[in-house]
A = this chain, B = another copy of it.
Amino acid sequence: MGNCIQGCKDYFSRQKNTNIRLTLPVVCFVWQIAMIILFGVFIRYDEESDTHWVETKAHENITSDIENDFYFRYPSFQDVHVMIFVGFGFLMTFLKRYSFGAVGFNFLIASFGLQWALLMQGWFHSLDPHTGKIYIGVESLINADFCVAGCLIAYGAVLGKVSPVQLLVMTLFGITLFAVEEYIILNLLHARDAGGSMVIHTFGGYYGLAITWVLYRPNLHQSKRMQGSVYHSDAFAMIGTLFLWMFWPSFNSAITDHGDGQHRAAINTYLCLASTVLTTVAISSLSQKTGKLDMVHIQNSTLAGGVALGTAAEFMISPYGALIVGFFCGIISTMGYIFISPFLEKTLKIQDTCGIHNLHAMPGVIGGIVGAITAAAASESVYGKQGLINTFDFTGDFKDRSVLTQGGYQAAGMCVSIVFGVVGGAIVGSILKLPIWGDPADENCFDDEVYWELPDEEEEHQESIPPILEYNNHMIHKQQDLSESNFSVEHCES
């Protein structure tokens, strides 16, 4: 009897309304107008992007325009920007029929998210108490992109199972939560996290996992035919992988200290990621009978090292230390895809489309731990007196903090990011469970057909008709020719 009810439920859930013609435009318009109003009230150029820069220069005795922060950070900003839009976007195109959704919705939510992030981060980090304004420059843009990254990670967990409206809601709350946890971790706890192992990856990972846990679909197997990749979709995904991998040194160094800080963060990340590739390949090969490699591992686990070095990249972790972190991350992340993901799905009912647990959540936690240990182990003999102060920003209220205390606060920061991710995700997931957002039925998941006008591929298929069908095909063409000539006749007679 209960089975019948289940059957009925299944039947009706098939009738899900995925018409978003009202909700999507309304959300886009209303939110964008709200952004314009809030930007009008709050956001201004900072002194380095304002025409008064010429006066600032004179006032602060700056001799050259090259001292403008733009020239320190803009190349890294552009690399990060590519990671957000091409990197995350194309990484998720691996599904055979969800490339439009992967790239397109990634584009949409990132574009909304960065605006909202400028406001949220501005209110928490850089609201001028006298003028009530937020002053933005190139570093603000990078931070906004970082903030968006947290939400795009979460998108990876629910890829193919939600509507664009749900994604926008998820992004709205995700950015909000991000700004709060970031404020607690970076400002209150005064933890360091330049590349965001904790703030971005751990938070984003658990946020997405908690949401997909709440949105669990017991009948997702009905979309199983759409859940794999095809040859070319895997090649597209490698575009995303490589742009993430190549530009990760810019990601981890984008907002670190000028000079040696940016320099060292880039070197560490470069080395760490190289090491990750080798161990990922090793474990992937071990996992198959004949040693064949699995594209899922190459596409994802090779990036785990960048995640795990997010916190420690600017520290004096030393080149071989970076290699060691990458070494273990490649192993752990690949093993995650082989053993943990199936376990999460079967036992914990967490359906994690892109395996963000293995690429972001776990390596993020490792990154937090590595950061805490490296900070606690820092010494004046290695860093130099001033170097230690600069690296950990032991100034102002924190000028007497010891490295051991710093290590403790780093660890505390990681806990904060996990709690925000899990609790926040669970709450937001519940909101997204409301039956008003136009999400697809279980049997239509991972299918662009639901939200996109797809090209009519008939013509292409005619081309791929095998030789023995040529005769029939020929007939079809003949008919077409006939109708065309009819058309011509009509055309002539007119």
Contacts and interface: CB of A to CB of B under 8 A. Distances in A.
A68 B453 contact: no
Given A4-B492, A32-B275, A50-B387, 11 more contacts: A24-B281, A45-B260, A45-B267, A49-B264, A53-B387, A54-B390, A74-B266, A85-B245, A89-B238, A115-B323, A464-B464
Interface in A168-221: none
Interface stretch (A92-100, A393-401, A406-414): A92-100
Interface in A13-45: 18-25, 28-29, 31-33, 35-37, 39-40, 43-45
Interface residues of A, number: 169
Nearest to A458: B467
A437 B493 CA distance: 32
13 contacts: A7-B488, A32-B279, A36-B327, A44-B318, A51-B388, A78-B246, A107-B302, A111-B273, A228-B456, A291-B451, A292-B452, A294-B453, A460-B464
B28 A68 contact: no
A110 to B, nearest CB: 8
A97 to B, nearest CB: 8
Given A78-B247, A228-B456, A278-B112, A291 B21 contact: yes
Contact of A99 (B10, B51, B235): B235
B469 A283 contact: no
Instruction: Decide if the interface of chain A is mainly helix, strand, loop or mixed.
Output: helix
List 7 A-B pairs, minimum CB-CB distance, nearest first.
Answer: A51-B387, A21-B291, A65-B259, A53-B260, A111-B277, A28-B282, A39-B320
Interface stretch (A135-143, A338-346, A425-433): A135-143
A298 B112 contact: no
Total copies of this chain within the assembly = 3
A354 interface: no
A417 to B, nearest CB: 26
Given A68-B259, A96-B459, A21 B288 contact: yes
Contact of A44 (B271, B273, B319): B319
Interface in A340-391: 382-384, 386-388, 390-391
A282 B29 contact: yes
Given A22-B291, A86-B239, A65 B258 contact: yes
A291 B286 CA distance: 46
